[in-house]
A and B are shown apart, each in its own frame.
Chain A
Amino acid sequence: MRTSRTTLARRAVAASASAVIALGALAACGSEGDGEDEDTQNAEDFSFECPEREDGERAPDEAANEEQPFIFGTPGVPTSLDPVLASDGETFRVTRQVFDTLLDHDCTDMVPGLAESYEQNDEGTEWTFHLREGVTFHDGVELDGEAVCANFDRWNNFTGGYQSPSNTYYWSNFFRGFAESDPEMGVEGESIYDGCEADGLTATIRISEYTANFPGAFSMATTAIVSPGSLEQLTDDDMDAPDSPLPEYSQEAGVLAGTGPYKYVEWDHSENAVTLERYDDYWGDPAGVKTIIFRQIGDGNALRQALEAGDIHGYDLVSPADVQPLIDAGFQVPTRGVFNILYLSYNQVSGTLGDHAIREALSYAVDRERIVNSVLPPGGSVATQFMPPSLEGWSEDVVQYEHDPERATELLADAGAEDLELEFCYPTDVSRPYMPNPKDIFDIIAQNLEDAGVTVEATPITWVDYIDATNQGECELYLLGWTGDFNEAYNFLGTWFQTETTEWGFDNPEIFDGLAEAASEPDADVRAEHWIELNEMIMEELPGLPISSSPPSIAFAPEVYPPDVSPLTQEDFSELYFAAAE
């Protein structure tokens, strides 16, 4: 979503023969897509999704790994320890270390998670997962099909405030609703979840209608499997209203047990720190460091200073200007792959931007090259459509809007909009994976528009209120973006263009219907054709201007052997360890 959604790129160490059959096909699709991109216009300046690691393995410092906690500085605090009640990257970064999902990611490829393999029927409505043997939860309970079904049944049977999209955004996004959807909670759709059947180590999940969110949804941090032992202690009836406070169990360690490499020890709310400890009976490779602490530390400057002072051993979303100084000072800043989109929305709710010629003029006015070259982290590229080029369904033939200020002025004059005035919103107090410094990007675009003769009314809004304001159509122009959750075009396009919304304010049934049709197509190749066509239609309609795809940076102290970085911003912290001095 707007926040970095997390799934972790656990290395497919344990990929067994059976998994390769089922999942190999998917992985192949992913890499094939990347190969094709090499011929396209943007490929030469576009860095591959998952750059090769340049550093070799290092000898671990055993004593430090056991005694010294690894402290990771975060720009925000998690919402909940139960991932199903969250939709932000700050939460998933933590819950990913504690819980596992049925499927997982390596780079952007789907790999086995708790399920060693899976099958689906041709219609894509029945998904059978063959679970790993010998997986135990942190509370000692063994993983089986029943445990998986108990989780899915629980989510589908949520009532009251649990249904609110501000709590369970992803469930209602993937499954459209609940067993008994409550319109008062903001969910009107009917659930497409059609039951779950367990048989020993297999679990079969049925959905009444296929959408392209599957199987991606099974890799989503929110569908992580929680111990049935934990579920027994929950009643799930303590939230009556959409804005009720989150249940107590999700705010303190103790109840929730997962299958991941780490277990919860403590969430110190006064220190804004969550402490995790290695789970010794983890099914995969044991975690490198015994104790990990995620601690919130103000803004980017404070984080950088904390890293330099040795108070923390790593932090995420490094400001692009800090990357080189950090590297020069001996810190490690591994390059992530690129899997996001930053865009400028032309909201048509107020009507001014309903004129296609004006939207076109604005698009020619914006100098996206300059933003990519001077503001965004090196390795980014100008976006031509609403998804990164590494995805299946990216089109080479969309309408391009090269920077051409004269054409912009002409178009505005032709449209009779010489004295156009627009309210332009940008978020403050935030750095997003796709948008490291919103104000700089705003400054440049605002100047571009002013040069074309548009009067820009600058409207800074704090991040906390920003999503609401932009969703409700309060801004004519605004900056926002999206980090992909999994390798599927629907995860990008479907996020924005399913239906008429106040977020965009345009009504183009052709796009909405085309999207619905594409989303219900189970054959990935046919679907890709649809996406290509849709991308072209969308860039013709021009609901907004895609600006860039750029790699967010993450930094680690020199003594740390960092984990593989993920284009989905889903790092597996069990991979990292303190390395012995050389």
Chain B
Amino acid sequence: MTLAKIEKLDRLVEAGVEARTAEGGSLWHQSLRRMRRSPMAITGAAIVGLFLLIAILGPWIAPHSSTAQEWGDEVFLNRNIFPGPRAENWFGLDHLGRDMFSRMVVGARQTLLVGVVATLIGFAAGAVVGGVAAASGIFGGRWGQRIESVIMRSVDVALAIPMLLLALSIAAMLGPSLTTVMVAVGVAQIPIFARLLRGSMLAQAHSDYVMAAISLGVPKSRIVISHIFPNSLGPVIVQATLVLATAIIEAAALSYLGLGNPDPGSAEWGTMLADAQRFLAGAPQLAIYPAVGIIITALGFTLLGEAMRESLDPRLRREQ
């Protein structure tokens, strides 16, 4: 599992380098060209686009309040009476008499927010860790290599721990809140970004333009920051799209386990799913909406990410 994970990351690094050396044109140009022909990428992009639209415009689209228990008197959860889909409430009512459709729409924003912030946290921290490791490996001499070893072995250890388990431990330590979920999911992504960036930077270190910069006497710190780092970001950004999908699923999982937003009124897909679980026997529709929402969104990001990865992957490219 872990090996497969590492192998995938390393292949992404390779892809970044090869794309640069081959054919000409930037990494992005090539992959975009390839992706335009891929139905997988188009489907993914469409789903992600729709999701982004809903998430951003959510509160304006939602026909009713997502928190007010407007139809509270019509729901009898002790007798499994949940007024189903009807003209007023397209998806029916939830267990407290709130409009399910409005909650789904408003919940999308929460989900997106958690996913994006968590990925940013993982990306930023991972970039620092990976960047430091790579820089000290390239230019730090013997001590630098030792530091690199220590950092990267720790990263590998962290990579070996199942991501959800890691996130769960962090969330349990910090106590339930929305920030907790973001931090927990974000921290769990750090090792991925760190390993990817370090690999990518090491590959760049041997390229001609770096050699040129060194022989011109450009300071090492500047070489790392303004030359190697920006040129190594390609694969990392591809990975970020994929991570976003996992982040959304994991955020939902943590909320589902009760570690999310403690305000039970706020709409969030994972929390909605957890709430609905108790009524699975009598009102399965309450669980189906958020579950389908999570699945489709995660699918969208995965399709898009995988399509990007494939369009970059040199081995797949040769087969084409």
Residues on A facing B (Cβ under 8 Å): 300-301, 304, 319-325, 367, 370, 373-378, 428-429, 437, 439-440, 442-444, 446-447, 458-460
Question: B279 near A: Cβ within 8 Å?
Answer: yes
Q: How far is the CB of B164 from chain A (nearest CB, A)?
A: 19
Q: Which residues of A contact B78 (CB under 8 A)?
A: 320-321, 323, 374-378
B319 at the interface (CB under 8 A from A): no
Q: Which residue of A lies closest to B279 (CB)?
A: A321
Q: Which 7 A-B pairs have the closest CB atoms?
A: A320-B78, A325-B281, A374-B76, A447-B69, A458-B263, A443-B96, A460-B262
B128 at the interface (CB under 8 A from A): no
The answer to whether B262 touches A458 (Cβ under 8 A) is yes
User: Does any Cβ of A come within 8 Å of B113's Cβ?
Assistant: no
Distance A120 CA – B67 CA, assembled complex (angstroms): 59
Interface mask (B59-84 → A, CB under 8 Å = 1, otherwise 0): 00000000111001101111110000
User: Contact: A437 with B282, CB < 8 Å?
Assistant: no
10 A-B residue pairings within 8 Å (CB atoms): A321-B80, A322-B281, A324-B80, A375-B77, A377-B78, A437-B278, A440-B77, A458-B263, A458-B265, A460-B176
User: Does A447 contact B68, Cβ atoms closer than 8 Å?
Assistant: yes
**B264 at the A/B interface (Cβ < 8 Å)?**
yes
Name the A residues within 8 Å of B79 (CB-CB).
320-321, 324, 378
Return the chain A residue nearest B95 by Cβ.
A440
The CA of A285 and the CA of B96, in the complex, are separated in Å by 48
Chain B proximity of A160: nearest CB distance (Å): 35
Q: Which residues of A contact B263 (CB under 8 A)?
A: 458
Partner of B281, one of A321, A428, A439, A443: A321
For residue A370, which residues in chain B have a CB less than 8 angstroms away from its CB?
72-73
Task: Tell me which of B72, B73, B176, B282 contacts A321 (CB under 8 A).
Answer: B282
CB within 8 Å of A: which of B153-197? 176
B277 at the interface (CB under 8 A from A): yes
Given A324-B80, A375-B78, A458-B264, also A319-B72 (CB < 8 A) = no
> Given A440-B95, A443-B96, A443-B265, A301 and B72 touching (CB < 8 A)?
no
A554 to chain B, nearest CB (A): 16
Residues of A within 8 A of B281 (CB): 304, 321-322, 325
Chain A proximity mask over B272-305: 1 for CB below 8 Å, otherwise 0? 0000011111100000000000000000000000
Residue of B nearest to A447 (CB): B69
- A374 interface neighbour in B72, B264, B279, B280, Cβ under 8 Å: B72
A300 near B278 with CB under 8 A, answer yes
For B73, list chain A residues within 8 Å (CB): 370, 374
Contacts of A304 in B (CB 8 A): 281
Determine if A447 and B72 form an interchain contact, defined as CB atoms under 8 angstroms apart: yes
Which B residues, 84 to 116, have Cβ-Cβ distances below 8 Å to chain A?
Answer: 95-96
* Interface residues of chain B: helix, strand, loop or mixed (majority): loop
User: What's the least CB distance linking A238 to chain B, in Å?
Assistant: 33
Which A residues touch B72, using CB under 8 A?
Answer: 367, 370, 374, 444, 447
B258 at the interface (CB under 8 A from A): yes
Contacts of A377 in B (CB 8 A): 78
Question: Closest chain B residue to A308 by CB distance?
Answer: B281
CA distance A319 to B283 in the complex (A): 14
Which A-chain residue is minimally distant from B176 (CB atoms)?
A460
Q: A325-B281, A458-B264 are in contact. List 20 more A-B contacts (CB 8 A).
A: A319-B278, A321-B77, A321-B79, A321-B80, A322-B281, A324-B79, A325-B80, A325-B282, A367-B72, A370-B72, A376-B78, A377-B78, A440-B95, A442-B264, A443-B69, A443-B96, A447-B69, A447-B265, A458-B263, A460-B258
CA distance A300 to B277 in the complex (A): 11
Q: B98 → chain A, closest Cβ, in Å?
A: 9
Contacts A301-B278, A459-B262: A444 and B69 contacting too (C-beta < 8 A)? yes
- Chain B residues near A323 (CB-CB < 8 A): 78
CB <8 Å contact, A444 and B278: no
User: For residue B264, which residues in chain A have a CB less than 8 angstroms away from its CB?
Assistant: 439, 442-443, 446, 458, 460
B69's nearest neighbour on chain A, judged by CB, is A447
On chain A, the residues within 8 Å of B282 by CB distance are 321-322, 324-325
Q: How far is the CA of A458 from the CA of B263 in the complex (A)?
A: 6
Given the complex of chains A and B, what is the CA–CA distance between A272 and B67 in angstroms? 40
Contact A374 B75 (CB under 8 A): yes
Task: Give bound CA distance, A398 to B72, whole Å.
Answer: 28
Q: Using Cβ atoms and an 8 Å threshold, which residues of chain B touch A300?
A: 278
User: From B263, which residue of chain A is reached at the shortest CB distance?
Assistant: A458
Q: Shortest distance in angstroms between B37's beta carbon and chain A's nearest beta carbon?
A: 47
Bound-state CA distance A325–B77 (Å) is 12
CB distance from B275 to the nearest CB of A (A): 8
- Chain B residues whose CB sits within 8 angstroms of the CB of A378 once the complex forms: 78-79
CA of A444 to CA of B254 in the docked complex: distance in angstroms?
24
Task: Give the distance to chain A from B272, nearest Cβ to Cβ, in Å.
Answer: 13
One digit per residue, 1 when the CB lies within 8 angstroms of any chain A CB and 0 when it does not, for chain B 197-225 equals 00000000000000000000000000000
Give the nearest-CB partner of B74 in chain A: A374
CA distance A442 to B275 in the complex (A): 13
- Chain B residues lying within 8 Å of A437, measured Cβ to Cβ, are 278
Contact (Cβ within 8 A) B96 A447: yes
Shortest CB distance B286–A (Å): 11
Measured between beta carbons, the chain A residues less than 8 angstroms from B277 are 301
Q: How far is the CA of A344 from the CA of B79 in the complex (A)?
A: 24
Expressed in whole angstroms, the minimum distance between the Cβ of A399 and any Cβ of chain B is 25
Q: Min CB distance, A376 to chain B, in Å? A: 6
